[in-house]
Structure 1
Amino acid sequence: MATEVKVPTLGESVTEATVGAWLKKPGDAVALDEPICSLETDKVAVDVPSPVAGTLGQQLVKEGDTVNVGAVIAIIEAGGAAASPAPAAAAAPAKAEAAAPAPTASAPADEDDGEGGNLTLSPAVRRLVLEHGLDPSKIKGTGKDGRLTKDDVVAAVAAGTAKATAAPAASAAPAAAAAPSAPGRGEERVRMTRLRQTVAKRLKTAQETAALLTTFNDVDMSAVIEARAKYKDLFEKKHGVRLGFMGFFTKAVTMALRDVPGVNAQIEGDEIIYHDYADISVAVSAPNGLVVPVIRNAESMSVAQVEKTIGEFGRKAKDGTLTMEDMKGGTFTISNGGVFGSLMSTPIINTPQSAVLGLHRIEDRAVVRDGQIVIRPMMYLALSYDHRLIDGREAVTFLVAVKNAIEDPTRLLIDL
């Protein structure tokens, strides 16, 4: 008996998705609720679970195809191995993208069935494996169900522990030294993911519709670094999460938003919507790029609650389990480019929000304190905002409020 696998409901107002990767091959045994395919929506990647236990039969759509909610994408056969299925049919119930599917580099024949067991690689991971000549069976996966992530491959490259065995040279090769090969000029055409397409559209929309302006300030991180060093062990022991900088900045931002409510507002038509809550969008690194889940009602959270929430988002992003609800809404965004080494930037607002705070790397710089030149760990802050709604005075006031709270964290405790 055959069972159809259909595209599940993907969230409010989401009617279609792109097939990101097949996680099982035709003929593979699948368990009940085991993911067989990943779908990419405008915001998140979603795994499609098998509705029954059995064997994956025909795949009705290809990677890169666009599919509607409710469309049949595969067949699960009951019992043992299924007969070799036909290739994905051109008339499958899926709407193809206008552009042709991007060519994908072929994996080595033994890539999916190495000593490490049955490996399923996403297109991005497969590209990295091929580029660096790695044996994926020698890399420990940290993703969901032990799957390899881009971070796993990058770590293996750095460690140099997963090099694939080179193929033996052809016996007919001449003994004389071969002529040097020409420099490589290869190209690869890769379809943009649905997430990347959405990000591109929204960023361009922000540039075209908002009057973008960026105001800078800098902040002395000495006090926060000292507090973190003093209490990090006790904090982690009590709360089960490490004490980072984002907890301090999120609390500082929520206090500043209360003092300058226009920064937490948005324009809708000819009206301004002011929010009496702070839903803070935080940029989190995921295998397919940055995603922006939302810390809801951050103004009522403690530093520990903020850190726990961000930590959970990080784990879900790495495992590919962020949901549409995690990404929905947001009244203000914090983007920490400092973790990648950025010194300064002009971030673009996440529409329909009106402002975004960019954090950057901490570095020792010479500054003047009480008439003396001293070395302090300094960070540049950048506030990009929609000048239609927020004027320069409000932007500077907001940044100064954040700066004061970070340079004197006691303000966070006594609400100043």
Structure 2
Amino acid sequence: MTTDIKVPTLGESVTEATVGQWFKKEGEAVSRDEPLVELETDKVTVEVPAPSEGTLESIVVKAGETVEVGTLLGSIAAGDGKAKPAEKPAAAASNGSGKAEKSAAAPAAEPASEDGSGEGELIDIVVPSAGESVTEADVGEWLKQEGEEVALDEAVVELETDKAAQEIPAQAAGVLAEIIKKQGETVTVGQVLGRIRVGAKGAKTAEASAPKAENTETAPAAGERKPAPSAAKMMEEKGLAAADMDGSGKKGQVLKGDVLKALEQGSEQPQAKPSAPRAPSPEADETREERVKMTRLRQTIARRLKEAQNTAAMLTTFNDVDMGAVMDLRKTYRDLFEKKHGVRLGFMGFFVKAAVAALKEIPAVNAEIDGTDLVYKNYYHIGVAVGTDKGLVVPVVRDAQDMSVAEIEKEIGSLGKKARDGSLTLQDMQGGTFTISNGGVYGSLMSTPILNAPQSGILGMHRIEERPVVRNGQVVVRPMMYLALSYDHRVVDGQEAVTFLVRIKEAIEDPQRLVLDL
């Protein structure tokens, strides 16, 4: 009897992940709920526990492959398993205990000739499954050439799908005996890309490593890990050195994402420009362009925002609010508030409280569509959009209706810190019923925010600007802010949207309403 290990549900907005590392090898015993494999999403890293006790029978998806929710990762066989040793001398590998397996956990170690043509077993490098919706890929760069040695789990070839690029690791140590699919060819899941002769020694290893030693740009210092192949290639193209960035891989290894981050932060070294006059042709313009692959988080943001536009009947209504009363309240109690609660008194606490009060009166804005049903939420989980150096994330202040302004400010501060540190969990970002986005911190005067699906409403705050307004027949200058409510017109009627925004305005202009629950 076997038990499948599958990719678990990763949250409402997360549909795919990358396999990080396996903590167990094929044939090793596992306990129920023991972490087996690490999955990396565009937001967090999660560990998948063993669903049952037994032996890790098979690893279907290797490290570095992209998978979708529900994809089979491996299987567990019932019964006791004996862990395979991490390393085994060549003599012990051929003691008759069983022939070599085609897996990273048990590379065969049969002796082979120096040119890689010995008797070591040949294993296939196949196109892995990248999820139900991905059936083909293009072969990118081969990171090893025929006859070169490869180490266990070392990246051998890159594949590019319509969703992501991934490196295919070697399933065993040996020599790349044959390249079947060349760069640029289109392949389907299960096709053989090439073959590795297990345990062989490569005759070309010394020759291949010689020119690399001349590349002082990316050569690692003593004790440092060599950059990942795709990272090294990009560093060479962009004129970067490993010292220009922090490696996020194991033991500080520089990965492709680290290079992209360094480029985003302006770490690219200035390139010498030709003194010749500029040519007016498009070909000349291309030489001055920079093409950088989108990060996984940015790809997910782009996809989800476009899905919201394509699905919802989205409309935006506007109003403005006089921020004077809240600003005076903050000025009066700012120091006392911070001394008592250990957190600064900001605007967001007032807007969250105002939003909860308005949502109670206009429940459609707190609802969502599920098939042919409308689901009205009698709880108020308010998502607060936070900008990070990697993109926009929306952690959730849960049960905001039960919290004071001080408690809301503390929770927002804690979630914001976790977002900037990259330590947000899936739980922190799941289950929001309404979202508030404050573009004013970046100087935005007015915008039309896009819905955070499947929610039906999002409130956009903007910068505070002194403007002339009429009060009691007199023109006065007041600190004004434009508010924008984008909503799904399938769920929320125009009158409800306008009323909702008016209630926000009334609460902010007269904050005593929040205290008195009016």
TM-score (norm 1): 0.68
Question: 248, 253, 261: which one pairs with 2:363?
Answer: 261
Query: Out of 66, 84, 95, which is 2:130 matched to?
Result: 95
After superposition, where does 1:101-112 map in structure 2 within 5 Å? 101=160
1:239 corresponding residue in structure 2: 341
AA aligned to 2:317 is: T
Shift of 1:255: 0.7
Matches of 1:313 and 1:71 in 2, distance apart?
A: 34
Q: 1:366–1:270: structure 2 CA closer, same or farther, 3 Å change rule? A: same
1:222 aligns with 2:223: no
Report whether the alignment pairs 1:323 with 2:425: yes
Tell me if structure 2 keeps the 8 A contact 1:366–1:376: yes
In the TM superposition, residue 351 of structure 1 has moved relative to its aligned partner by: 2.3
**Partner deviation per Cα, 1:74-125 (whole Å, 9 max, x = no partner):** x99579xxxxx9xxx8437553854543789xxx96669579x87989x99x
Match of 1:348 among 428, 445, 450: 450
Structure 1 residues 48 and 408: CA distance shift in structure 2, 3 A = same
The separation in 2 between residues aligned to 1:373 and 1:348, in whole angstroms, is 35
Alpha-carbon distance in 2 for matches of 1:399, 1:350: 18
Distance 1:283 1:120, change over 3 A: farther
SS at match of 2:490: coil
> Is 1:39 equivalent to 2:40 in the alignment?
yes
Q: Counterpart of 1:39 in structure 2: which amino acid? A: E
What amino acid is aligned across from residue 465 of structure 2 in structure 1? E
Deviations 1:354-387 (A, max 9, x none): 1111111111211112222222211110111122
Determine the C-alpha separation between the residues in 2 that align with 1:412 and 1:130. 58
Q: Quick check: 2:217–2:236 contact (8 Å CA) kept in 1?
A: no
Cα 1:247/1:363, change in 2 over 3 Å: same
Shift of 1:347: 1.6
Quote the residue 1:290 is aligned against.
392
Q: Are residue 190 (structure 1) and residue 191 (structure 2) matched?
A: no
C-alpha change, 1:78 and 1:411, in structure 2 (3 Å) is farther
Deviation per CA, 1:131-159: give whole Å up to 9, x if none: 997877578999xx999999x969976xx
Distance in 2, matches of 1:149 and 1:391, equals 46
- Secondary structure of 1:278 counterpart: coil
On the 8 A contact 1:71/1:93 being kept in 2, the answer is: no
Shift in CA distance, 342/114, structure 1 to aligned 2, threshold 3 Å? farther
Q: Which of residues 368, 387, 398 is equivalent to 2:470?
A: 368
Residue of structure 2 equivalent to 1:279 = 381
Quote the residue 1:206 is aligned against.
Answer: 308
Q: How many angstroms does 1:246 deviate by?
A: 0.9
Contact 1:61 1:94 survives alignment (8 Å): no
1:235, 1:217 → 2: CA distance?
Answer: 30
Deviation of 1:303 after TM superposition, in Å, equals 1.1
TM-score, structure 2 normalization: 0.56
Which deviates further from its counterpart, 385-394 or 131-140?
131-140
CA contact (8 A) 1:112 1:118 kept: no
1:375-412 CA-to-partner distances (Å, cap 9, x unmatched) read 22111101111222222221121111111111121211
SS of alignment partner, residue 507 of structure 2: helix
Q: Which runs of 5+ in 1 are unaligned?
A: 1-5, 23-35, 50-59, 80-84, 170-176
Name 1:408's counterpart in structure 2.
Answer: 510
Q: Secondary structure at the match of 2:486?
A: strand
Provide the secondary structure at the position in 1 that maps to 2:377. Answer: coil
Cα 1:221–1:14, aligned 2, differ >3 Å: closer, same or farther?
Answer: closer
Deviation at 1:188, TM superposition (A): 1.6
Higher gyration radius (CA):
2
CA distance in 1, matches of 2:512, 2:236: 52
Relative to 1, partners in 2 of residues 1:224 and 1:155: Cα closer, same or farther, differing over 3 Å? farther
Which blocks of at least 5 consecutive residues in structure 2 are unaligned? 22-36, 49-60, 76-83, 89-106, 108-123, 139-159, 167-214, 279-283
Residue 385 of structure 2 corresponds to residue 385 of structure 1: no
- In 2, the alpha carbon distance for the partners of 1:137 and 1:234 equals 46
Aligned residue pairs total 367
Secondary structure of residue in 2 paired with 1:353: coil
AA of the residue aligned to 1:266: E
Q: Distance in 2 between matches of 1:114 and 1:382?
A: 53
Look up the SS of the partner of 1:368 in the other structure: strand
Q: Could you list the per-position Cα deviations for residues 272-301 of structure 1 after superposition, in whole angstroms to 9, with x for gaps in the alignment?
A: 222221111121123331112221111111
In the alignment, which of 349, 353, 357 is matched to residue 459 of structure 2?
357
CA 1:272–1:322 in structure 2 vs 1: closer, same or farther (change >3 Å)?
A: same
Q: Distance in 2 between matches of 1:112 and 1:21?
A: 25
Q: CA RMSD in A?
A: 5.0
Distance in 2 separating the partners of 1:286 and 1:20:
24
- Label 1:342 to 1:222 Cα distance change in 2 as closer, same or farther (>3 A): same
CA drift of 1:187 comes to 4.2
1:42-86, CA deviations, whole angstroms, 9 ceiling, x for partnerless residues? xx231679xxxxxxxxxx9676744756469xx99579xxxxx9x
**Measured at CA, do residues 402 and 47 of structure 1 come closer, stay the same or move farther in structure 2, by a change above 3 Å?**
same
For residues 190 and 156 of structure 1, the distance between their equivalents in structure 2, rounded to whole angstroms, comes to 15
